[in-house]
Amino acid sequence: MKFIEMKFLISGRVQGVGFRHFTKTNARQMGVTGWVRNLPEGDVETLLQGEEKKVLEMAGLLRDGPLTAKVDTLKLVHKEENPQDVKDTFQVIR
pLDDT confidence tier of residue 1, bands split at 50, 70 and 90: confident
Domain count within the chain: 1
* Residue 94 covered by a domain: no
* Residue 89 covered by a domain: no
* Residue 69 covered by a domain: yes
Beta bridge partners of 43: none
Strand (E) positions, 1-94?
A: 3-13, 33-38, 44-51, 70-81, 90-93
Q: In this predicted structure, what is the pLDDT of residue 57? A: 97
Q: In this predicted structure, what is the pLDDT of residue 22? A: 98
Known catalytic residues are 20, 38
Q: What is the CATH number of the domain that holds 27?
A: 3.30.70.100
* Residue 29 covered by a domain: yes
Boundaries of domain holding 46: 3-83
Q: Give the dihedral of Cα atoms 80, 84, 86, 92; nearest 10 deg.
A: -70
* Residue 15 covered by a domain: yes
* Residue 46 covered by a domain: yes
pTM: 0.95
Q: Give the dihedral of Cα atoms 52, 79, 19, 38; nearest 10 deg.
A: 150
* Residue 92 covered by a domain: no
Q: Please provide residue 25's backbone torsions phi and psi, each rounded to the nearest 5 degrees.
A: -60, -50
* Residue 13 covered by a domain: yes
